[in-house]
A and B are shown apart, each in its own frame.
Chain A
Amino acid sequence: MTTPGVARPHGRLRLSGLAWRRARWGYLFIAPWLIGFVLFTAFPMIATLVFSFTNVNLAQTEPLRFVGLENYQDLLGDRQAWDSLAVTLKFALLALPVAVCLPLLVALMLHSRHLRGSGGFRVLFYLPYVIPFVAGVLIWRDMLNVDSGWVDGFLRFIGIQHPPDWLQDPTWIYVGLVLMSVWGIGAGIIVYLAGLKGVPTELYDAALIDGAGAMASLRHVTIPMISPVIFYTLVLGVVEVLQYFLVPLVLKNGTGEPGGTTLFYNLYIYKSFFTFQNMSYGATLAWVLFLIALAVTLLLFRSARRWVYYAGEAR
C-alpha cells in the first residue's frame, strides 16, 4: 500500500499513512524520555502528593491511613518550618541580586573593547565553575576563617581591627555564603557575554549620535537588548536559591549553626525525611516548596511581558 515510487492517485491518503509512520518513529525516539518522565518525575510527584495526605513513615508503627489535611495543618503550626522558610527567603534576597548582577558586571568588563586578552580572562572566570562543589566549600571555608583566612587578613591589612567571623557569626553568615557562591558566576558570565555580542552595533552608534554617554547607552540600549538573558539568569537563580541547602549541609553538617541561621527550608525537608524518617511530613513540605517555586516562576514569566524584550517579536 505504501510502496514508494508508485504514482499517487490517492496522494492524500498515502501521505497521511506516511505521516503516521513518521509520527510513530518520533514517539519511538522520544520514548526514553517519556518513560523516564513517567517513572522519575510524574509518578514520584503524584506519590509525593499522596504521601502528604497520609501518615507514611519509614518506622511505620501505626497503621497506614488517610489523614486528609492534617499534615498541612501541622505545617501551619510548625514554627521550625516557617523559620526555615524565612531563612531561605532572607538568603535569596541577598544572593539573587548578586547572582544576576555580578556576572553581568564581569561580562561588561570582559566585553569592553579596551580589554586585552579577554579570551584568557573568560576561561579564568569560568574555571571555578568546574571545581567539585565539596572542594569549593572547603577552600572557601578556610579562606573565610577569621584567623587564617585571606579575606580577614586583607581586611586587617587595610586597617579593620575586628573583621567579621563570616561563617560563625549569625549577622554575617549570609554574606559569607554569598561570598562562597561567587565561584558559581562563570556560566552566567558566558551567557551574558553571548548576549552582549548579539546587540547590534548600529544601536550604539545611534545612541552616540543622540548624545548618550556610556551610562545612558548601557541603560537604554544594552540592558533592554539583553533582557532575555537577564530573565533567564533570574529564573534559574530563583529555582536554584529556593533549593539551596547543600553548602550549609557540608559546612555545618546540617546542624543549622550558627543559631539556626543555616537551617534552610530544603534542609528541613531532607531532615524530616532522612533524620526523622517522616515521609508524609517531608512530602508535605516538598509540595509546598513546589507550589512556591511554581508561583514564583509563573509570576516571573508574567512580569517578563513587561520588561523582557525579544527582538523580532511583535509585543
Chain B
Amino acid sequence: MATLEGNADPREVSVVRRRFRATRVTGASHPRVRGDGRRSFLITLIAVLTVAAFLSPMLRSAMYAIKSTDQISQAGTPVYPADPVTFTYQGKDLPILRVPIDGTVRELALFEPARKQSTFIDPVAPDAAPIVWLGSWRTLENVWEFAPHWENFAKVWNLIDYPRLLFNTAMIALIRMIGTLLSCTLVAYGFARFQFPGRTVLFTLLIATIFLPTAVTIIPTYTIYSKLGWVGTWLPLLVPTFFANAFDVFLMRQYFMTIPTEMDEAAAIDGAGPFRTLWSVLLPQAIPVVVAVAIFHLVYSWNDFFGPVLYLSGTPDLQTLALGLSRFNGIHFRDPGLIQAGTLMTLVIPVVAFLLTQRFFTRGLVVTGVEK
C-alpha cells in the first residue's frame, strides 16, 4: 500500500527490484529433503494430471483441426485424426472392417455388401476364396489408421483472407504498442521522478481508472468517433493508446522508482535535461520493464475483441484475426474442423510469443499484483 502513495520506501523498492531482476519467481528456496521421493512423485503426478486436464481443450481443438469432415460427421470414430483403412482389390477401394468369425475378430475387406449377409476378402490372402459372413455389415466397425488432414488450414487461409487479417492484426498491435510505450514511459517518468502539487491525488485517480467499468464512458466516446467519421477506421483503436493507461504506467513507475536517483543527479549536473536523462540514464536500466510492457500490450492488442467489434464490424477489410474468426464462426459453425483450424491459426502467434518471452511476462505480472 505504501508504494501506492508515492513514497519510495527504500526497503520495499529494493524488494520490487529484486523480484523483477530475479531470474525466476519461484526458485529452490527450500532445501529438498532426501527420502520424500514418494510424496514428490505423488504431487508431481497430481500436477501432471491437473495440467493435462487444464490444457486438454487445446489438444482436442488441435485434433479436430486435422480431422477430415467425414470423420467428424461419423459417430464412433477414434479421438485422433484417422481415415478408414481400405484395400485395393480389382481396381476398387474396399473398406476394411472388423469381422467376428469363430470367436476371433478378423480384419477383412468388404467385397459385396448386402443386408443379410456379405462377402469379404482377406487382404492378407486376396486370392483365397471370398469369405461369406452372416449378419448386417453396417453393425461392423471400420479399421482406422492415423491420418492428419492439413487441408483445413489451407481452406481457412483462403476463406477468411488470413494474410490480410494477419497484417491488420499485426499493424494495429504494433502501432498500439508504440503508442503505449511512448506515452506510458513519459507519464511513469513524470510520476516517479518529479515532485509537483497534486501528484498523489492524480496518481490515485490514475489507479482508480482501473476499476472503472468501460460502459460508463463508451456511449459518448462512440458517438464522438461516429461524428468524427472514425467508426470503420483503425483510429479509435490506435489514438487512445498514445494517452497512456493505468496498468502500464503503474508497472513502469514502480520499476523506475527502484533505480537510484544518483545517476539522474549526476547527469543533471553534467547539463542533461529531463528528456536526455530519461533517454540515456533511466531507460537503459529499465529494459526489462520496457520489454514486459511491449509484450503485454502486443498480446493484449492481438486478443482484443471488443474494440474491433465496436469499430470495425462494418469494414471486413480492416478487421483483425479475433473479429475475423468470430465472423467465420457465424458462417461455418457447422464445420467444427474448419472452426478449430481457424482457432489454432488465431492463437498460434500470441502463444509462441509468450513461450519465447515468458520470463518477462511473469515478472511484469508479479509487480502489478503484489505491490498494491
**What is the interface of chain A, defined by CB distance below 8 A to chain B?**
19, 22-30, 32-37, 39-41, 43-45, 47-48, 51, 106, 109-119, 121-128, 130-136, 138-140, 142-143, 148, 150, 182-183, 187, 190-191, 193-195, 197-198, 201, 228-229, 232-233, 235-236, 239, 242-243, 246, 250, 253, 266, 269-270, 273, 279, 282-283, 285-287, 289-290, 293, 297, 310, 312-313
Contact = CB atoms under 8 A, between A and B. Distances in A.
Interface of B: 1-2, 19, 24-26, 29-30, 32, 36, 39-40, 42-44, 46-47, 50-51, 54-58, 60-61, 64, 72, 183, 186-187, 189-191, 193-197, 199, 202, 205-206, 209-223, 240, 242-244, 249, 274, 299, 302-303, 305-306, 321-323, 325-326, 329-330, 336, 339-340, 343-344, 346-347, 350-351, 353-355, 358, 361-362, 365-366, 368-370, 372
Contacts of A34: 202
B60 A142 contact: yes
A122 B362 contact: yes
A118 B26 contact: yes
B73 to A, nearest CB: 10
A235 B369 CA distance: 11
12 contacts: A40-B221, A47-B219, A106-B50, A113-B32, A117-B44, A131-B350, A132-B321, A135-B347, A142-B340, A182-B54, A193-B26, A293-B213
A133 B199 contact: no
Contacts of B321: 132
A130 B26 contact: no
B244 A32 contact: yes
B240 A273 contact: no
A133 B305 contact: yes
A28 B61 contact: no
A23 B202 CA distance: 14
A128 B355 CA distance: 11
Given A25-B194, A29-B189, A37-B206, A135 B216 contact: no
A101 B54 CA distance: 16
Contacts, number: 285
B336 A148 contact: yes
Helix, strand, loop or mixed for chain B's interface?
Answer: helix
Given A128-B55, A286-B213, A195 B43 contact: no
Helix, strand, loop or mixed for chain A's interface?
Answer: helix
Contact of B343 (A43, A135, A191): A135
A195 B370 contact: yes
Contact of A143 (B1, B60, B194): B60
A133 B299 CA distance: 11
Contacts of B220: 43-44, 47-48, 51, 283
Given A132-B302, A132-B322, A134-B326, A33 B213 contact: no
B249 A33 contact: yes
A109 B43 CA distance: 8
A23 B285 CA distance: 24
A232 B211 CA distance: 11
Nearest to A235: B211
B26 A122 contact: yes
A142 B353 CA distance: 26
Contact of B303 (A25, A116, A122, A131): A131
Contacts of A183: 54, 57
A115 B219 contact: no
A201 B44 contact: no
Contacts of B219: 44, 47-48, 51, 273, 279, 282-283, 286
Contacts of A19: 195
B183 A32 contact: yes
Contacts of A283: 219-220
A126 B358 contact: yes
A210 B235 CA distance: 62
A102 B214 CA distance: 26
A41 B218 CA distance: 9
B45 to A, nearest CB: 10
A279 B219 CA distance: 7
